[in-house]
């Protein structure tokens, strides 16, 4: 007799087409907030692997991230100017954790629009995985945890009641670039070790049940991995940058977080476009051909655990340095056409 499969390992997803009378609270939250990787009633473009790939300029991704990172800071600063008062730590936590959610939803919708328009990687072979029937609540709480813990940690470690957004450090441009590179160093090694160590693979295997992930499954993992993804690695990165003498105040860290979450979600989208994660040190990464593309992490999910590659999630720098890059299939010099340009819209 074969080994019986654990029901929790199933990626079967039928709930969106099921009778809505069978839905619970979390199904309705995803529905009412329009947080779906694709629209059921809208066709998705399917491209051949040799078809040309549209190009998104990095300035455009910077614009998208900065707009969504800075609108809440503009509101807070306007309040300070108008009233002469500063927000309490409690209201600041409430406000920025809500903004974290709002911005993520905007990104989900942007990714969905581009997926329908330009298609997804490996689209000839497989659709993108959806939220599994048995894990709707788990996915919801994973997303909630990120939007609460990261702003909460930043607030506890860095928030000062008598400082507003204008206290952001002039070093913030350097901080944004270094944050992605340093965070990726810690992530690379903890990620690679989980793949290559039998005793630790059990904490990572759930995340790899999806071979064609969508952004909602970015944190689909066991709680041990979720802890390191959400708070462990960011805390080590923040501490490292503080030891380097960089300020990394609340608003600096908020901007860094918004760059990171943008790349985390897009990196699990499988969008068939050529786009590098926005980085203020992108020029430095380009010198070493260490810019990540969406296909890199997508291929990582399709690989077996011991035979995997592309462990970085913000850059390709550490994979290049330690010899773990996988060859790209669809995003290649032959398919990428920088004259075939598309742009991220701020509102979708």
pLDDT digits (tens, 9 = 90+) for 93-134: 999 999 999 999 999 999 999 999 999 999 999 999 999 999
The residue ranges of every structural domain in the chain are 46-341
How far is the first Cα of the chain from the last one, in angstroms, to the nearest whole number?
51
The predicted pLDDT at position 306 comes to 75
The predicted pLDDT at position 305 comes to 75
Question: Each residue of 202-235: pLDDT tens digit?
Answer: 899 999 999 999 999 999 998 888 888 999 999 9
> Residue holding tokens 């075939």?
340
With residues binned 3-state (H G I as helix, E B as strand, rest as coil), the percentages for the chain, rounded to 5, are 55, 5, 40
Please compute Rg for the chain using Cα positions.
20
The predicted pLDDT at position 228 comes to 87
Query: pTM for the complete prediction?
Result: 0.96
What gap in Å lies between CA 294 and CA 180, rounded to an integer? Answer: 16
What gap in Å lies between CA 226 and CA 218, rounded to an integer? Answer: 10
Which phi and psi (to 5°) does residue 271 adopt? -60, 135
Q: Check: CB of residue 326 under 8 Å from CB of residue 303.
A: yes
> Residue holding tokens 């051909």?
289
Per-residue DSSP letter, 144: H
- SS3 (DSSP) at 250: helix
The parts of the chain modelled with pLDDT lower than 50 are: 1-3
Look at strands 336-341 and 53-55 and give their pairing: parallel
Q: Check: CB of residue 255 under 8 Å from CB of residue 69.
A: yes
Q: Check: CB of residue 342 under 8 Å from CB of residue 55.
A: yes
């Amino acid at each position: 007799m074969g080994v019986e499969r654990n029901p929790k390992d199933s990626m079967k997803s039928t709930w969106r087409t099921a009778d809505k009378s069978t839905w619970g609270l979390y199904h309705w939250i995803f529905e009412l907030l329009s947080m779906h990787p694709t629209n059921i009633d809208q066709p998705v473009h399917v491209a051949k692997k040799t078809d040309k790939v549209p190009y998104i300029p990095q300035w455009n991704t910077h614009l998208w991230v900065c707009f969504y990172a800075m609108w809440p800071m503009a509101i807070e600063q306007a309040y300070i100017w108008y009233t002469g008062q500063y927000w309490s730590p409690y209201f600041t936590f409430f406000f920025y954790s809500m903004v974290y959610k709002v911005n993520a939803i905007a990104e989900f919708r942007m990714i969905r629009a581009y997926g329908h328009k330009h298609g997804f990687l490996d689209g000839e072979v497989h659709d993108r995985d959806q939220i599994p029937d048995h894990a709707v609540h788990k996915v919801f709480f994973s997303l909630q945890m990120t939007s609460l813990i990261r702003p909460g940690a930043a607030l506890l470690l860095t928030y000062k009641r008598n400082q507003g957004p204008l206290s952001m450090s002039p070093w913030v441009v350097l901080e944004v670039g270094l944050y992605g590179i340093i965070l990726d160093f810690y992530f690379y090694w903890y990620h690679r070790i989980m793949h290559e160590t039998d005793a630790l693979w059990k904490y990572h295997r759930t995340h790899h049940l999806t071979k064609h992930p969508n952004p909602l499954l970015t944190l689909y993992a066991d709680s041990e991995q979720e802890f390191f993804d959400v708070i462990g690695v960011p805390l080590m990165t923040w501490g490292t940058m503080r030891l380097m003498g960089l300020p990394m105040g609340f608003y600096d860290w908020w901007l860094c977080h918004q760059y990171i979450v943008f790349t985390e979600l897009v990196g699990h989208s499988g969008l068939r476009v050529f786009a590098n994660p926005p980085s203020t040190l992108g020029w430095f990464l380009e010198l070493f051909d260490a810019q990540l593309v969406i296909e890199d992490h997508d291929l990582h999910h399709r690989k077996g655990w011991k035979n995997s590659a592309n462990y970085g999630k913000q850059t390709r720098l550490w994979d290049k340095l330690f010899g773990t890059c996988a060859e790209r299939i669809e995003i290649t010099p032959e398919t990428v056409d920088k004259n075939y340009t598309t742009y991220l819209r701020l509102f979708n």
